[in-house]
Amino acid sequence: MPYTAEISRANPSCFLFLIDQSGSMADPFGAGELGRKKADGVADAINRLLQNLVIKCAKEEGVRDYYHIGVIGYGAHVGPAFSGSLAGRELVPISEVGNMPARIEERTKKVDDGAGGLVDQSIRFPIWFDPVANGGTPMCQALGRAQAILQGWLAQHPDCFPPIVINITDGEATDGDPSGAADAIRKLRSNDGEVLLFNVHLSSQRATPIEFPDTEAVLPDQFAKLLFRMSSPLPAYMRSIAQQEGYKVSEGTRGFVFNADIVAVIRFLDIGTRPSDLR
Amino acid sequence: MHVFAQPFWVSKQGNEDSEYEDAFWPRKSVERRTTCFRCAVADGATETSYSGVWANQLVRYWCRNYSAVAFDPDGFRNLQQRWSAIVRRRPLPWYAEEKVRQGAFAAILGLVLYDDIDRESSGRHWQAVAVGDSCLVQMRGEEVLVRFPIADSAAFTNRPHLLSSNPAYTGQVVDHVRNMVGNWQADDAFYLMTDALACWFMRETEEGRTPWRVLRDLNTSDEVKPFREWVETLRTKGVMRNDDVTLLRVDVT
């Protein structure tokens, strides 16, 4: 059965994030985020996700390398988008990610005080990825780069839980039709199944997000339908996670959200990166 | 009563023995005459840090204070504070700090056997407490008398209620503490098992097989394979989940 390989230090998996860094990412989200720039919201979401993944893999002796992580930005340039000492690296073992954030900021978080109340607690918020918004949307190039990176990874890890690619964009590709490049990624496979490609479309308008659709019919335009077709169906274990989170799913459900606000982005990333069998 | 207790354990495949996060008490085989015998197994959650430390604290606590686990608020709070002091002995990197802040989680199953000669009818009795999916089985010959707190292999999920070292979660788990009492007779056997083994045991029973025989024969002249090797075979066949595995076998006469 596919998507059942154990994720372990001996057999790690990988996540690759493709982040649109085009000029329009400096525009605000469409609704409810008080004029927050999309690039800032996405950077926060990615940093929080990386933080959560590191914590998930942390044990008393350090961070266990259950995953290798890559972040590719595409805008004025296409390439690795880590800041700080990881700059220029494509796929990085998660222990190195944990030990080498670009910087650590102090933030405040409300936590349960164990007696029915909330108290402010100062927490360290590591930053690996900074917001950028500049240039066009060379999505085809980014997908091509991802395909090359994963081909190399799969040659070294033929039995791994299939890599998961999450592409976050706010607009149409400016370098051609990305369908072919997306197909090429989805055709890559390990012995445990095909690479999963998920797409997150960010909204600049006041519109309700369409999350985890199972048909094109609910999508408003050709661009949304294109992204839907580029997205992998959710494997069974992920469908059940989505269902537990209250989404209506069927076998046709794809890893895609259209018109996402920041809440939808965070929810999507959480479901799309939750492990099936972490050991 | 005469008690003979023997622990068996193996860490999950791919991990070092030093990474084993189950716990059991007594730590070594014991054979003794007594009127009261306490024992326990616990299973530290993989996703949390220092859960092996926490699991060890829980089994020792159970076996040394019969005031029990979650319902002695002062004792339990002390245990949580001790865990926090142990894990913060040295400076921690940001991710370890966050993990410690979240707390460790563990399942526990504790058993006490009594041979109370002053009580005529129910002198030979036992009490058990469980939080989570570590299980107790009581055998009488070829009959499974008790399966506690889970009796069905389908009921083993990845999200059992667990005891946490984080005081914020203590209130939530109190409702999930399960208690059971029973009687024993000479030559009964008790098996205390962490979840991977317990789940296998329940499934074998449901499918009409006799899983207790292999547990009964471990470390005897009838043993088919040593424990570690036997568990490895079941993992390879895909009939036992790859996890830390612990069995505490208690024979009583």
**Tens digit of pLDDT for each residue in B64-73?**
876 554 457 7
CB contact set of B168 (below 8 Å; sequence gap of 6+)? A111, A112, A113, A114, B103
Q: Is residue A279 part of a domain?
A: no
- Put simply, whether A59 touches B (Cβ < 8 Å) is yes
* Nearest CB partner across the interface for A58, out of B19, B99, B242: B99
pLDDT at position B224, please? 85
Cβ contacts of residue B191 below 8 Å, gap of 6+?
B136, B137, B139, B201, B212, B215, B247, B248, B249, B250
In a domain, A123, yes or no: yes
Phi, psi dihedral angles at B251 (to 5 degrees): -105, 135
Name all domains of chain B by residue range, CATH numbers in brackets: 2-252 (3.60.40.10)
Q: What pLDDT does B69 receive?
A: 47
Tell if the CB–CB gap between A114 and B97 is shorter than 8 Å.
no
Does residue A169 fall inside a structural domain? yes
Residue A6 located in a structural domain: no
Q: What is the mean pLDDT of residues B34-52?
A: 93
Q: HSE, CB side, 13 Å, CA atoms: give it for residue B213.
A: 8
Domain that holds residue A17: 13-272
Please tell me whether the peptide bond between B26 and the residue prior to it is cis, using omega within 30 degrees of 0. yes
Asked if residue A4 is part of any domain, the answer here is no
Residue B118's pLDDT is 66
pLDDT, mean of residues A127-151:
97
Q: Does A224 touch chain B (CB under 8 A)?
A: no
Residue A139's domain is classified under what CATH number? 3.40.50.410
The span from the CA of A213 to the CA of A234, in Å, is: 10
Asked, for residue A5, whether it belongs to a domain, the answer is no
Q: CB B168 to CB A60 under 8 A?
A: no
Considering only A107-111, A151-155, B153-157, which range has the smallest mean pLDDT?
Answer: A107-111
Assess if residue A2 is contained within a domain. no
Widest distance between CA atoms in chain B: 59
β-strand pairing of B30-33 with B178-183:
unpaired
Number of domains in chain A: 1
- Cα separation, A187 vs A193, in Å, equals 10
B56, B95, B240, best to mutate vs chain A, most A CBs in 10 Å: B95
ipTM: 0.81
Task: State mean pLDDT over B217-245.
Answer: 94
pTM confidence score = 0.83
